[in-house]
Structure 1
């Protein structure tokens, strides 16, 4: 379990900069884009939680 957490931590650290850039671009174009992205991610987490309660996003963001 700790090994998986370390691996996911490395993956998400490497894409954090890209994700922040995407969010900044969305904000620059239209401030509602960030809100839309948050809603879509929340919906994805809730949907994934119903399908696979042990998924990484469900465990990390759903709790």
Structure 2
């Protein structure tokens, strides 16, 4: 993350979070629900951990 910056982690994390939220809204089975939960957890966890690096020069 030092060479590419915080956006190299934050942008894919936000995409994964958004995809997980969309899948959660469309879930009709427990498998889709679990996939959505994994994507939401991955996206949220990586985005929150990358926030301090977005404000560094």
TM-score, length-normalised on structure 1?
Answer: 0.43
Higher helix share: 1
**Larger relative contact order (C-alpha < 8 A, sep ≥ 6)?**
2
TM-score (norm 2): 0.46
